[in-house]
Structure 1
């Protein structure tokens, strides 16, 4: 019997382990993974896979039919993980990264790294890397740059230095039966180096005389890897050289100048022994292709085919045949893919692909694959990456397998927008009195009116719809384009469902539903968009985006505005101001559909804190001539009237001597004159690396903090305070980090902190009366964070109004802590009233999102505890913050290369919404002060109901017994 029980426990325990978080994981959080813009792609129809190496330092395998990521490898952020070159070998993927310093081999099936070597060593500048798969050495590859030539494989690595001839640039790499050949160019000199297959000896070093005296030659390997083809635009000719002999054609292959005379920027795109493909740009910047063929015993190339207005193309080899596959738009929404057989010199009509697309966007990259089925029939599969950063795959029948929105890997700005109230909810809100004159009778009348409207709608809509669905057996709810029921896209009771408006740096804007696993409700693409590099001191592309009017102001529609640079029809650089509805994604009715294009250049944009008569907060643009521009322009009169007696100071960063080290304050006035400068703060040899200000929707619930002895310590709540982080080096080239707390009205430094032997990147956040920032300590080789909190003291200077002109010297508390890992980004949690504790959300370097409780980073944590501090529930100071896995928000759903975190309040005071964006996007809810306003998930409804029913029955029974007892006593 005991053995049976033991066996039962062993079977059940794994099930319990797997179900630990089954009731919570994914219930209100979701993650979406992306890859980024492809640099190298490969289609494998046998494995039903699409392999991608992207500019976001990611190597991924995608299911060819569904578009789901099968596996993905994300390298380091920045240049350390940048992919420089990829070889799609027969059994493995070879990736060269970190400017040629590292080479790795990955398995096709699982993406496992099978081997890794250091390659060229540290390089002073970016160099082109060439490669060729070895035919002699099994599973080995030759890699070369301007200085080195290497033979690498799973078993060995051999590297040699190329001859140190100054100025030579490696242009081509070959392997033939006679060895390995390196072709290098210097001005008009072409040099050929020949090595044996093991790179143990230099066999020959010759000059290719036939290629001399020609500048700007465009050379490339031929298809059979035995010929070098070079195109000269000066004489409109092509030179072909046999590599093993080094002999060139006696005469160059000439192209008639009249053929290419109308085009510009000709480039040799592909070559074989007898075929050459040249691409050019037409007058309207369209792509034209010219396919030439070499006739025997002739030195003139014959134009085989001219293809105009090509979107993109690819050359594919299959069974000793070569195919040219190119795409063209036919009409507005029809995209055709044509296949030209180079061997037969004819178009293959049986391989024509005709696909329908929603948007006629230009194709940036095309990858094709030709396969043969059991009936010996060929078919083509095409992968297209469009200009709006969407990735699609089409089969031979023109069916689109999937579309991946890779633009979501380039989000720069995010706002969470509330859904509007339903009209019945608005009626309920109006029941309690919309004006102060509403009395009890008026509110009772509104109550009866609302109930009658609800009854009418139930009969006319709900009841009729249910009967119709029963008779016709049809669904009652309509579906949006994303597959979500339109009835679900509404404001819920606790305002937990919102729409995330995400603006990407390429100009594509998305509306993402926080429920339903982040489905995209709408999206649009603004062509010719160029992002700014301001409002973020870091060198990142950003598009300023603001919510001018929310959905709370009925009957006015909500409105958002985004500002970007754009090219007009003449190619001139303009500033574009675009207005749209965040709920529908459609352009605003009161503005042009393409937005406003203005001539001045903007260096800063911000939202006015004052509303006009239409409940709209105008956007203010600050141009390079220090002038102010307001959109919409009809709001200027309202702003001038409201701000006539209220001077406003704005600040802006400036560069001096090519260094961002100056902070300048201006007096804001809505006129055509340049703004007068009020103050200037110069940090001399330092560089501004980050600026932190309070979030616009940051709510302050309490002006003071109650201490353990029941006294109050009042917070220093300066709304004009910002944190400015600067970096620099001292006289001995030792780096340091400075943090200045600057009052932006007066330009004075309230306090400052110096961290010697420290460096960035520095992430900083500011909320209420405290700052929190992270940095790297070089002396102790560890990551550290510092929290700073400011107080006025036990007496509050002014409880209703704060003035920067008052002489208030705050009391400053600060503590530094050690953390185990670096932070990519951080943000503060927000709640509706600011009652809940404000925790810090951090994105760690290796894909973990954590919530750090304020109690751990409180700068008032004492080294020695007193009774008063113990009564206040302060923790004793510890130099290290234990970042436990209990703080992790995304459990095993790692998100990489996080660039930003956005937080928003919900209708529940205990709940804050968190959205992180980078290479991946992630959404969840956090509860900084636990769920004090919600019923727990394990709440025992049955027990409470039984208890309440028992109490009611007991009360009634007791009442009846008491009445009977009193009656008996009365008869005595």
Structure 2
């Protein structure tokens, strides 16, 4: 019995090691926790400390205090899109963490050491965002919505339950010694309802305390107090004494915070430190002058106040007039601090700073040296990624020499062209010789250090061959196959990052300012458009990219242009009006920059950078846009030369008032189509309907649950095709590429996810043989031939995308992100509308795939293998220098980057190909052939003499 078990375990272990050498070689993952709403310092027995963090993205996590690494992380299902400013509601004791999850419907108990869930308790079936939780005296007290409950620790059933008649607007527990009360308020009522909880877990009769003008947004609760402010007046209610203290300060208040018996009432220019005493009531202890960039916090022991700014950190002692200031290194690309969490230990102050850009910094401040030491930092704004582009690295020196060699200038003069070519090739020769000398020196140095054996020699040659490869430690230049790129990431928090695609390291960071606000799209989505206006292909000029956003104070549009290689801002322009539409123009100016056109609320037009009239041609003077209104869809003609917007058609596309537009997809700006036709089994060619002006509009009817996919030409307003699917529901995702549209939806009838495909063809006779480009204004002889098919997909879908290659020759793959965290690669050959029901011998010879209603989901087709990527919101693909390889970045709660080879690596040797060994073998064979030839000649001569 033991032998078969041992063999089985051995086989399983070997199966899990498939492609083990590939793990982490071409891919990387960044795990994020989000913007912290609450941070607690916690002790891990006699070991180092940790931070328990609840974030706005409904994530509960533990960070190692010394390194900032994630100890464990638990992602709740509460909020996939909605941000919760107060984070998860949780409390803790010496062993467990107790959190309220499932929108206030359940309690989860977690082990603090490893984050493993111990148990789950049910509160009610009603959702609520007004929550409170408290643990003491062996009991767990929970308030969620209308429900107030008490559990004995370890029990699954409550000891006592109270259900209010209406929803609460405020809920909190307060404890003083052994006395515990629950305080709540109801909308539109200034009365605070105080319920005392006895030792046996029962609730006593509620009592009332009145706070004039009680407003949850202007109140704060701590220890045994509830503090509220109104203009310059501060009210503090003692929930145990049931007494309200009032005072009026000398400035208008902006916020209230505090801990213990101390209150921090902040005005525009100073913060007042107040304390409630039994003798004098509410008294001002100290006032501290502030600037607009200062943020105030208080330590856990309530003995000192922390005032942090981009330039310094001030420590103010409450019980004395003593204070000191420590300078910190200022970084213009970091935002101002929005919250502080601090504690005082025996040696120094440990402070966690959270910025408006969701950057977490852990610093220590020593009173003796007055130095701020940055221990670690985490860029958590990446969890809010909304736009991604991949930009090629600059050309290498040898590639620039090749470009110089074939410059168009000087081609008229044959002598100058010859001299330029000789100069360029001499430079390339010198560069190659220098590189080989460096490799030889490295080999000799390695042999002298490690040994002189054959194995040491082979290893030294292999190591030397890796000099100059595309790695983070190599030169910042394009590699031979253009596989290393700079990933430009824009977040809805107002930050732009440059990330090295080789290892995920940060190259630079750009903060867009405190007045940053995302744009509102026509589909009620927040977005920050990113455009690459000039790539690094023009090696004499730097690359150029731009982001467009809104000023949250003036609501006007702002466009910021920067160098994508180093993040340096080139220009910043603020419009005098809000942005309604924007796009990148398909023409470039004399500096090879594709301008961005912004259309204002009243059809004002601005182009950045400006383009001269002589650079416009008749074919590029006008631009056509699709505009989605509440009740109709219209096509707009934008005349760039006169800067006028003219509606040219308007209609509802057959939509009713009950139809909701959920997705609109056009074609990629720079997508390439390699083949204009598809060869059939009959050897006929079916030509693709390639219309660059085609847009796919997905709508769903709220009453009939009917999904409609409408394909409309935005130039003429002609509906090319319309498909309807009954009994459908969200989520709905679209992918539009070449002559086909793929979409997914939830089928209410089948209770499953279904995946559909629509393909458009012109027929077997090409209608546009006389034209170089498709023209929507030329009437088609016949409508396009439509082929469509649906498949069952046995997984949910969070995001969809399609692979992109340099020439479009490689078979495309559709990338589908699952809610479980997998990213599935579905070959375009499987998602084909022309898969036949029955295969003929001719079809089998062409290796066609017969129709099956279900798309198989195999584990080996997951491009992220076992590296789970949570809450994927988008997938960005980009071509590389290899036609077989596409680069992929999936973003959401995590970032995951990898390479994709839909048709295999047909244009490059495998990465594990041993170049050194094959070179040595070939050298040995050549040498051996000469030696054997010489020996054979000697033997022949000897035999003749004999």
Q: Distance in 1 between matches of 2:921 and 2:145?
A: 82
Partner of 1:387: 356
Kindly tell me: are residues 781 and 339 of structure 1, through their superposed partners in 2, closer, same or farther at Cα, counting changes over 3 Å?
farther
Aligned length: 889
Q: Distance in 2 between matches of 1:910 and 1:418?
A: 17
Contact persistence 2:700–2:708 (CA under 8 A): yes
Partner of 2:627: 652
- Listed as ranges, the gaps of 5+ residues in structure 2 are 367-371, 446-469, 941-946
Kindly tell me: are residues 714 and 955 of structure 1, through their superposed partners in 2, closer, same or farther at Cα, counting changes over 3 Å?
farther
2:306 maps to 1:326: yes
Partner of 1:142: 141
Contact persistence 1:533–1:539 (CA under 8 A): no
Partner of 1:928: 902
- Report SS of the residue matched to 1:451: helix
Q: Distance in 2 between matches of 1:574 and 1:80?
A: 25
Partner of 1:866: 840
Q: CA deviation at 1:873?
A: 1.9
Q: CA RMSD in A?
A: 3.8
Q: CA deviation at 1:175?
A: 4.9
2:708 maps to 1:773: no
Q: Distance in 1 between matches of 2:734 and 2:535?
A: 28
Scaled by the length of structure 1, what TM-score is found? 0.83
Contact persistence 2:621–2:640 (CA under 8 A): no
- Report SS of the residue matched to 2:343: strand
Q: Distance in 1 between matches of 2:190 and 2:200?
A: 30
- Report SS of the residue matched to 1:858: coil
**Offset from partner CA, 1:790-844 (integer Å, 9 cap, x none):** 1111111113332223223111111111111111111111111111101111211
Q: Distance in 1 between matches of 2:182 and 2:924?
A: 92
Kindly tell me: are residues 945 and 378 of structure 1, through their superposed partners in 2, closer, same or farther at Cα, counting changes over 3 Å?
closer
- Report SS of the residue matched to 1:735: coil
- Report SS of the residue matched to 1:932: coil
- Decide which of 523, 528, 534 is 2:514's aligned counterpart: 528
User: 1:190-589 to 2 correspondence within 5 Å?
Assistant: 190-200=192-202, 202-208=203-209, 211=210, 223=223, 225=224, 228-229=225-226, 231=228, 233=230, 236=233, 238=235, 240-241=237-238, 243=240, 248=243, 253-255=245-247, 257=248, 260-265=249-254, 267=256, 269-270=257-258, 272=260, 275-282=261-268, 288-294=270-276, 297-298=279-280, 301-306=283-288, 308-309=290-291, 311-318=294-301, 322-329=302-309, 334-338=311-315, 340-341=317-318, 344=319, 347=322, 355-359=328-332, 361-371=335-345, 377=346, 379-397=348-366, 398-431=372-405, 434=408, 437=411, 445-454=419-428, 487-515=474-502, 517-534=503-520, 538-567=523-552, 571-588=553-570
Kindly tell me: are residues 585 and 101 of structure 1, through their superposed partners in 2, closer, same or farther at Cα, counting changes over 3 Å?
same
Q: CA deviation at 1:619?
A: 0.7
Q: CA deviation at 1:44?
A: 2.1
Scaled by the length of structure 2, what TM-score is found? 0.86
Contact persistence 1:145–1:170 (CA under 8 A): no
Contact persistence 1:506–1:529 (CA under 8 A): no
Partner of 1:476: none
Partner of 1:637: 613
- Decide which of 559, 566, 585 is 1:608's aligned counterpart: 585
With 888-897 and 306-315 compared, the bigger mean Cα shift is at: 306-315
Q: Distance in 2 between matches of 1:452 and 1:625?
A: 59
- Decide which of 702, 705, 714 is 1:744's aligned counterpart: 714
Contact persistence 1:49–1:64 (CA under 8 A): yes
Q: CA deviation at 1:459?
A: 9.2
User: 1:549-948 to 2 correspondence within 5 Å?
Assistant: 549-567=534-552, 571-588=553-570, 591=571, 595-633=572-610, 635-638=611-614, 641-643=616-618, 647-656=622-631, 662-670=632-640, 674-682=644-652, 683-685=655-657, 686-729=659-702, 733-799=703-769, 800-804=772-776, 805-807=778-780, 808-937=782-911, 939=913, 946=921
Kindly tell me: are residues 951 and 853 of structure 1, through their superposed partners in 2, closer, same or farther at Cα, counting changes over 3 Å?
farther
Q: Distance in 1 between matches of 2:679 and 2:410?
A: 36
**Offset from partner CA, 1:587-623 (integer Å, 9 cap, x none):** 22xx3xxx01111111111111011122111111122
Q: CA deviation at 1:328?
A: 2.9
- Listed as ranges, the gaps of 5+ residues in structure 1 are 372-376, 472-482, 657-661, 966-972
Q: Distance in 2 between matches of 1:850 and 1:169?
A: 44
Q: Distance in 2 between matches of 1:768 and 1:649?
A: 19
Q: CA deviation at 1:918?
A: 1.2
2:10 maps to 1:24: no
Contact persistence 2:733–2:745 (CA under 8 A): yes
Q: CA deviation at 1:931?
A: 1.0
